[in-house]
Every structure is written in C-alpha cells, then in structure tokens.
Amino acid sequence: MIPAIFGISGPVLTPDERAFFRDCDPAGYILFGRNIVDPEQLRALTDDLRAIHGRERLLVSIDQEGGRVARLRPPHWVGYPAGQSFEKLYEIAPASAIEAARANATAMALELSAMGITVDYHPPLDLRVPGAHDVIGDRSFGEDPMQVAAIGRAILEGLAAGGVAGCIKHMPGHGRTDVDTHKALPTVTASADELEADLAPFRTLNHALVGMTGHLVFTAWDAENPATLSQTVIRDVIRGRIGFDGLLLTDDIDMEALGGSIPERAARAHAAGCDIVLNCWAKMDDMTGICEVLPAMSEATTARLDRALAGTRVADGIAPQATELLAKRDALLALTGTPA
C-alpha cells in the first residue's frame, strides 16, 4: 500500500483510474463536488472503490464541516451549520452547545456512512484570531482554547457514534494565517509562548485517531519550512508538545502554499514525518509521480490507519434516528434566537 490519498476526476472511475488505483494501491481517496451527483451515484462510486481493493475497511474521505465547507449539499443531503453557530450557543449555554454539536455530527456521520464515506476532515480546532484571514473565520468554534476543544470533542464523539472517523485539523494551528494557503504561504511570527494557546485544543484532543497538518511557516519553530514539510514541527511540536500519535495526514499538497513539483512535495512531506500525503486534484501525471517517489507504507503507519478505520462502518441506508438528532440540534440552536 502506498501512503497517499488521491482524488478522482469525476462521478465515475475512468478505465485509466481503475487500472492505476489497482496497481498503485493508495491508502484511500478524497471526494469533491465533481464526484457527486446524487446518493445512488455516490454510493455506487464508493462501492466501486472498495471493490478494487477488497479491503473490509477503506479510507474514503470528504470535507464535510457544514457552512461553506460542505461537499454534500441540499437537495439530496441535509444542510449543516458552520462552526460559529455552536460557538454562539456555547456563549449562553455551554452544555447545550456541546449536545447540539454532538447530535449534529452524529446525524452527519449517519449520512456519510450511508454514502460509503469513512473519514470526515472535521473538526477544525483552529482558534479564531482577530484580524487574521477569514479562510478559517466562521469555521472556527471560537477564540477560547477550552471552548474549541469542548466543541471539537463533541464532534469527534458524534462522528464516531455514526460510524465515521473524524480528523482534527490543521496542526499546529491555522488561526493566525494572514493569507489563504490555497493561494500563498503564510508566515506566523508569534512567539512559542503565544502559540501555546493554538496548541491547547490539539493537546486536549491528542487522542484523536486522525489529524492533519497545516501549510504555514512558524518562525518560532522552523523559519524555513511550512509545518507539513518540517521535521522539526512534526517531531517536536505535533508528535512531541501536542502528543498526537494518530494517523497524520498532510493538507492538500496541491495548494499554492507549497513549492516544487507535486511528487517533490509528497516526498518531502513523507520524509518530514507525515504518515500519508493528501493529493486532491486527480491529475494522473502527479499521482503516478507520487507513487514513484513514495515508499511502501510502514508498519507504524499501517497500524495507525487500521486503528483509525476500526470503528468505521458502511451502512445500508441513513438510520431513522438522523431525523431526531437534527430536530434536537435545531431546538438547541434556537436558544440563540437564530435559525440553525
């Protein structure tokens, strides 16, 4: 197995993709809007991916946070609120916010599981920092580390209850960025002491089974390399100070924050200590190059991948309890006086 997660070009596999995926044997896949038409088509696609590999549990992933980061959308799927909705409720009723976030995440997971999706890149544990770029913005659960960790924990628990593994992101913290990492590389000049607040939610939830790096330079730790490509940040900060021992993925290596060819980025990220490289854009030349430069998956990464997927399940359909969970969420969010 190759330690890479690949995108797919469309709603069905092309013959070239099918042959390549069978030969390369990537760790898993990520889905985007270009892969999604309706529930029947999407489930057929994920069933097809599982059939290629014959693995009982396959990493099929998606970015489904709610708000502006949602690949599954109405009318075929439920609309979910952005993270800020739970922050607003937490300000007046913390226990209700935690319960609403958990119910929301379980309902979301029941939908994802029915689509054959086993990993959701959610929750983001990035603090909202005044004056920063809004690439995080309303996705965040707030400015307070304890609050962010409390809501994040509820989401991890809710996703797991629905048979989906969550993923904490973007380690060691994306909230201070001054640019969108899809377009440019941010440099964070905060001191190590100041960055303790950014690390706190990740440290609290360091038992999470899956985590993701961020493409930011932190001058306090490594002034030359973004976290994704920094052995120092991964070894000393993510694995060390945060204490994360789960499956560590890169953020999308196609982002313009990183330089060099896509295979070069993949090799550097893996050498720095990332378990698995995430490559989203389904460009065959890039994927082929990645398979050529990455070694076979290590025993340690294989064990982390197995642990991450152990509690996942693919359901035959959306469980009826999803409707009750959504009603519970809406009733709790209504306490803020705004709709979900």
- DSSP letters, 125-192, are -PPP-TTS-TTTGGGS--S-HHHHHHHHHHHHHHHHHTT-B--EEEET--TT-SS-TTTS--EE---H
Rounded to 10 degrees, the C-alpha dihedral 52/58/59/62 comes to 70
For residue 251, indicate whether it is catalytic. Answer: yes
Return the half-sphere exposure (C-beta side, CA atoms, 13 A cut-off) of residue 204. Answer: 20
| Residue 74 belongs to domain with CATH number | 3.20.20.300
Using the Cα atoms of residue 189, residue 256, residue 227 and residue 176 in order, give the sign of their dihedral. positive
d(CA 124, CA 213): 11
Q: Where are the alpha helices (DSSP H) in 122-245?
A: 145-161, 192-204, 231-232
The structure tokens listed for 250 are 């890169």
For residue 169, the SS3 value is: strand
The pTM (predicted TM-score) of the whole model is: 0.97
Q: Is 320 exposed, middle or buried (0-12, 13-18, 19+ CB in 10 A)?
A: exposed
CA distances from 38 to 45, 71, 77, 284 (A): 11, 12, 9, 25
In this structure, are residues 230 and 214 in contact, taking their beta carbons and an 8 Å threshold? no
The predicted structure's pLDDT at residue 135: 86
Range of the domain at 272: 2-336
Q: Catalytic pick from 63, 198, 222, 251? A: 251
d(CA 279, CA 311): 25
DSSP state, residue 250:
P
The predicted structure's pLDDT at residue 55: 87
> Shortest CA distance to 195 belongs to which of 172, 216, 223?
172
Rg (CA), the chain: 19
One digit per residue, the tens of pLDDT, for the chain of length 340 reads 999 999 999 999 999 999 999 999 999 999 999 999 999 999 999 999 999 998 889 999 999 999 999 999 999 999 999 999 999 999 999 999 999 999 999 999 999 999 999 999 999 999 999 888 888 999 999 999 999 999 999 999 999 999 999 999 999 999 998 888 888 999 999 999 999 999 999 999 999 999 999 999 999 999 999 999 999 999 999 999 999 999 999 999 999 999 999 999 999 999 999 999 999 999 999 999 999 999 999 999 999 999 999 999 999 999 999 999 999 999 999 999 876 5
Q: Catalytic pick from 23, 47, 134, 182? A: 182
- Beta carbons within 8 Å of 91's beta carbon, 6+ residues apart: none
Q: Is the peptide bond before 123 cis (omega within 30 degrees of 0)?
A: yes
- Whose tokens are 């469309």? That residue is 10
Q: What's the domain count of the chain?
A: 1
Beta strands 210-213 and 247-249 are parallel
